[in-house]
Amino acid sequence: MAFFRGVSALSKLRSRLVQQPSLTSTVRWLQIETSSDLDLHSQLKELIPERQERLKKLKSEHGKVQLGNITVDMVLGGMRGMTGMLWETSLLDPDEGIRFRGLSIPECQKVLPAAKPDGEPLPEGLLWLLLTGKVPTKGQVDALSKELRSRAAVPDHVYKAIDALPVSAHPMTQFTTGVMALQVQSEFQKAYEKGISKSKYWEPTYEDSLSLIAQLPVVAAYVYRRIYKNGQVIPKDDSLDYGANFSNMLGFDSPEMYELMRLYITIHSDHEGGNVSAHTGHLVASALSDPYLSFAAALNGLAGPLHGLANQEVLLWIKSVVDEVGENITTEQLKDYVWKTLNSGKVVPGFGHGVLRKTDPRYMCQREFALKHLPKDPLFQLVSKLYEVVPPILTELGKVKNPWPNVDAHSGVLLNYYGLTEARYFTVLFGVSRSIGICSQLIWDRALGLPLERPKSVTMEWLENHCKKSA
């Protein structure tokens, strides 16, 4: 039945694409193909030679084509807006939002296999899509889920490394320490030391990446139970899928929380390559650091207040509103509190985005989840009021290019509703999710033989002199 449900969904999408030519050009038929082969590794082995040739052709025939001009503003503004790296797994459009291998989030929700009819997509399905560019069948997703469970055992020394830290250490510090401790099992490092051919780099990278993705929920859950539940660890359940297993190991076993975790991991998995965590992972990996070292570096970028820590900041700010004004806050009271926050030199967390210029689709799908499962929750109702109140105020200020809410504006409230109230831990959830995108791209980095990343830097004096000459 699951297979026929998947075929039906694909047929509906094809029908809709015929009626919408603008989408047809975006979603290639390759991306909605299915295959009977259940093994992900063999799928990649077939795809990689074709993509390698495609890259060679692109470089040889179009290598000198200019992509735009770099301005002084870009150099001084954190390289914002520069087109400067290859990232195959996803693309972020300022108006449409993220597309995973050409598919938008609503399209992924329709065509990716779910655990139950009309349920949220399984993260394993998105992993398959990111790696192959093809929508998997339910059978392929089940096979991948089984493989990830078989790789999920975590060595004892990892727990000992985490236990060496104070329980009071930030959850991200403990999580990253666990990832670094996993590094000793790296197949890529072992193969490189033995002298593996460059053409084979992707294979041990694949092994490391799938093992890392599989083990992260176990490590993350251990950190959570260590800090917040007196170290009472819940073992993995081999009858559950990736998202449900993670939720269960954290201590949340309701079917709705399972669905939320599947949705959360899927929508947080990838956001093209320019964000801090993805770019850091790509940069470190370009030096041929193995996936464990590369992803640990990415996590350290994710832990920053301007990146992954934002989801923690949003919930804490929303709770500060409730503490000061109460749950039954009026629109006028909320406006006053927003202005008070802005006038104190702070930002309203969860609004704005470095690339997007409309409401984040990841926000919208979480809002739809809330409308379906928790429409009367006071904090969700407050988030809904913020959606009405904040954008006009930020627009009035005239300093913000995007006044609309992003993914972080909503996720904390959903997690809080189901009992995961510890805001300091939220970024760890983000980290587990982001492994799917970063590791998928890393496998392709190796397969395509992408080089060491080494941009040119200049001094302020060089810029000043250059501008004088240009004038």
Q: Is residue 41 among the annotated active site residues?
A: no
Q: Is residue 62 among the annotated active site residues?
A: no
Burial 83-111 (b: 16+ CB within 10 A, else e): eebebbbbbbbeeebbbbbbbbbebbbbb
Q: In the block, which residue shows the tokens 């990841």? A: 362
User: Which entry of 142, 408, 410, 445 is annotated as an active-site residue?
Assistant: 408
In three-state secondary structure terms, 293 is helix
User: Which entry of 282, 353, 410, 445 is annotated as an active-site residue?
Assistant: 353
Which pair of structure tokens corresponds to residue 127? 């992993």
What distance in Å separates the CA atoms of residue 10 and residue 83, rounded to the nearest whole number?
Answer: 33
User: Which entry of 271, 279, 307, 410 is annotated as an active-site residue?
Assistant: 307
CB 321 within 8 A of CB 382: yes
- The residue among 185, 173, 198 whose CA lies nearest residue 296 is 173
CA of residue 40 relative to chain centroid, distance: 21
H helices of 350-425, in order, are 361-373, 378-397, 408-417
What distance in Å separates the CA atoms of residue 343 and residue 341, rounded to the nearest whole number?
Answer: 6
Q: Is residue 279 among the annotated active site residues?
A: no
Q: Could you tell me the CA-to-CA distances from 410 to 111, 208, 211, 264, 369 in Å, in that order?
A: 24, 32, 30, 11, 10
Strand order in the sheet with 90-93: 90-93, 97-100, 103-104
Strands 103-104 and 90-93 come out as unpaired
CA angle 213, 216, 217 (to 5 degrees): 110
Active site positions, annotated: 307, 353, 408
